[in-house]
Amino acid sequence: MAAYRDIGYIDENGQVFIKGRMKRVISLYIGNKIYPLEVETLLENLPEIEKVVVVGEVDLDHPEAMKPCCFVSIADE
């Protein structure tokens, strides 16, 4: 299982660019499902957050499952 289900790249400056999603749901080990777009929408509505991307990452405690991982850019004041 791949660590991430998103399509993108990291440029020479280390910036991450997400181009799309291979899978639109993250399945947790307890059976619940998380939809990254829903979490991103909630977080983007906070005034302190400029950009956010939620991806699935392998849950090392439960390798057959994933867990959400958020990358957040804080807004300038």
Residue 23's pLDDT band (cuts 50, 70, 90)? low
Average pLDDT for the chain: 84
Kind and range of the H or E element at 4?
none
So what's the pLDDT on residue 5? 55
How far is CA 5 from its chain centroid? Answer: 9
What's the whole-model pTM score? 0.66
Model pLDDT for residues 39-69, shown as the tens digit of each residue: 999 999 999 999 998 888 889 999 888 899 9
Report the pLDDT value the prediction gives residue 1, as an integer from 0 to 100.
Answer: 36
